[in-house]
A and B are shown apart, each in its own frame.
Chain A
Amino acid sequence: MSATATVAATAGSAADRPAGGGLVVALLLPIALVNLVGFLLPVFNLALISLQEVQASGAMTGGWSTAKWVSVVTDDFYWELLWNTIRTSLGITLATLLVSYPIALYLHRSSGLWRSVLLVMVISPLLLSAVVRTYGWIAILSDQGVVNSVLKAFGAAEPWRLMFNLTGVTIGLTEILMPYMILALVAGFGRLDPRAEEAAATLGASPFRVFRRIVLPLSVPGIALGSLLTFVLAVSSFITPKLLGGGRVFLLATEVYDQAIVTLDWPLAATLSMIVLVVFGIAIAVYGRLVRSIG
């Protein structure tokens, strides 16, 4: 019945309609094109580039080679880079969790207009360029910055080096990634029924024990998701490490950028970026296993 299609296109639940194929294709064509040209092709090409043969001059021959992979895997520098990146990112994740948790719990317990205001305060930094926020941290952490001015006023002779090292990068990224963690935690708290806490309190649990026995276990899924997000974003960020590290902090992402823009060794940059993806995959796998073990 050809008329069925016209009837179906008018209205009805999704199950009712064998959708008009031509219309669907026409409506989806533009987005599919953007996805193909701007995403699928470049990423597929990137994977291939890491397997391209390169001459000593840096020009690509067009042949295939696993040379880049071999040289990266056998070079201690890159192993150290990888280890540095993972260690730093884990540290940042832990720090972010510790600073974000009180805010998330506070948000969960507050209500009304005050909660909305606080929520906007948490979200707004997301809408502000990482460059601006990193610049703010330079103003706080540099030798002439806020912290060292205070220390000097108390009589410190030497400035405390908080920038151009891992300390600065960790502090800056922790703050920059906080909104993601807070939002994941708040979403996780959604499942937390205040009556469970009240029930525990009526059963004689002190506030601290209510937190440890009821609140904390129930917020584990939120913690897991927030930690995954934060870790993954820490591994791949390079604006903050570049600016706060001042070229003295070497991480996987900054190395990708340097190889791509400064050294112009694209196959190497491609290989390193594939390693970033491998780290991503491992993090997601660990998260998946964790979530399953929680049940």
Chain B
Amino acid sequence: MDKPPISPALKCLAAIAFLFLLAPVLIVVPLSFSGDVFMSFPPKSWSGRWYAAILQNPKMLEAFLFSVKLAAGVTVVNLAIAVPASYALVRLAPRGAEAMTSLFTAPLLLPTIVLGLAMLIIFARIGLLATVPGLFVAHLVVTLPYVLRVISTALSTLPIAVEEAAATLGAAPATVFRRVTLPMMLPGLVAAGALSFLVSFDEVVLSLFMSGPRLSTLPVEMYHHVESRADPLVAAISVLLVVFTLAIVIVVDRSLGLAKTFVK
């Protein structure tokens, strides 16, 4: 169907709005090549010193590695929990499946600051504050709803007749799941995994509540750095993160179309 032509006025307004939306991301690129000690724009001199500075900052490096490991671990556990749960909720459809789905995705509706505080208080009491298990559980709670939702959607849009066909051809339920259901869900699994990794990797509110001086994630370290110092170090890290995120987005988009996962 033909869409109505776009008026020049709308083009102009949209361009300005897009510029506004992308301004903070665009600005960190030149800033990261600043040769100055403090943040100022435009930089008085240019250099790659802040990229070198990342490598000399053990705290940032450690936090980065921990964030990657945390996000990867959280993603693996997320999938291991959400795939069986989705199968039960969508395919076995027990009584109250809808209510249970709402309950399991409810952590998304709660403001993270409230959830963070709630976890801080209870985790402090059982000694999980600033521990790997504490951060792990916190990240699990906020990422699992996304993963459950994406996988459930993927599962519910699979034509059930294909699984029935496999059964009529002699495949037992476990075989149907392994040979037919799981492979057909693969795009959903990739999307859910990528989303889980990125959400966990970027999570800052819960991490701020859960981390301590000796254990923190990259976004928390960056937050503390920005809070206390105005230098271009974070710009250099940001550029690397943008590249990192973009790489993941492009890989996922190539394999299944990211737009489809977000906008129905």
Contact = CB atoms under 8 A, between A and B. Distances in A.
Q: Do chains A and B touch in the complex (CB under 8 A)?
A: yes
Interface stretch (B47-55, B185-193, B198-206): B198-206
A31 B113 contact: no
Most chain B Cβ neighbours within 10 Å, of A127, A144, A236: A127
Given A11-B163, A103-B17, A110-B6, A273 B114 contact: yes
A136 interface: yes
A42 B119 contact: yes
B115 A27 contact: no
Contacts of A133: 24-25
A132 B81 contact: no
B87 interface: yes
B132 interface: no
Contact of B118 (A42, A108, A124, A195): A42
Given A28-B100, A132-B238, A111 B259 contact: no
Contact of A102 (B17, B103, B205, B234): B17
**Chain A interface main SS type:** helix
Interface residues of A, number: 100
Contact of A109 (B4, B41, B138): B4
A37 B133 CA distance: 12
A194 B202 contact: no
A232 B227 contact: no
B10 A49 contact: no
B17 A12 contact: no
B164 A12 contact: yes
B134 to A, nearest CB: 10
B202 A10 contact: no
**Chain B interface main SS type:** helix
A197 interface: yes
Contacts of B38: 144
Contact of A99 (B5, B17, B114, B205): B17
Interface string B62-74: 0000000000000
A129 B25 contact: no
28 contacts: A19-B92, A26-B84, A27-B87, A28-B89, A31-B85, A31-B144, A32-B104, A34-B137, A34-B141, A42-B118, A45-B118, A49-B121, A103-B14, A103-B17, A106-B10, A106-B14, A110-B3, A118-B18, A119-B259, A119-B262, A120-B258, A121-B21, A127-B198, A139-B24, A140-B24, A194-B1, A197-B4, A201-B4
Given A19-B93, A102-B17, 16 more contacts: A27-B88, A30-B84, A35-B106, A123-B259, A124-B246, A124-B249, A130-B202, A131-B222, A136-B25, A137-B24, A142-B39, A187-B264, A194-B1, A197-B4, A198-B4, A261-B208
Interface of A: 9-14, 17, 19-21, 23-24, 26-28, 30-32, 34-35, 37-39, 41-43, 45-46, 49, 99-100, 102-103, 105-106, 108-111, 116, 118-125, 127-140, 142, 144-146, 149, 172, 175, 178-179, 183, 186-187, 194-195, 197-198, 201, 207, 232, 235-239, 242-243, 253, 256-257, 260-261, 266, 269-270, 273, 276-277, 280
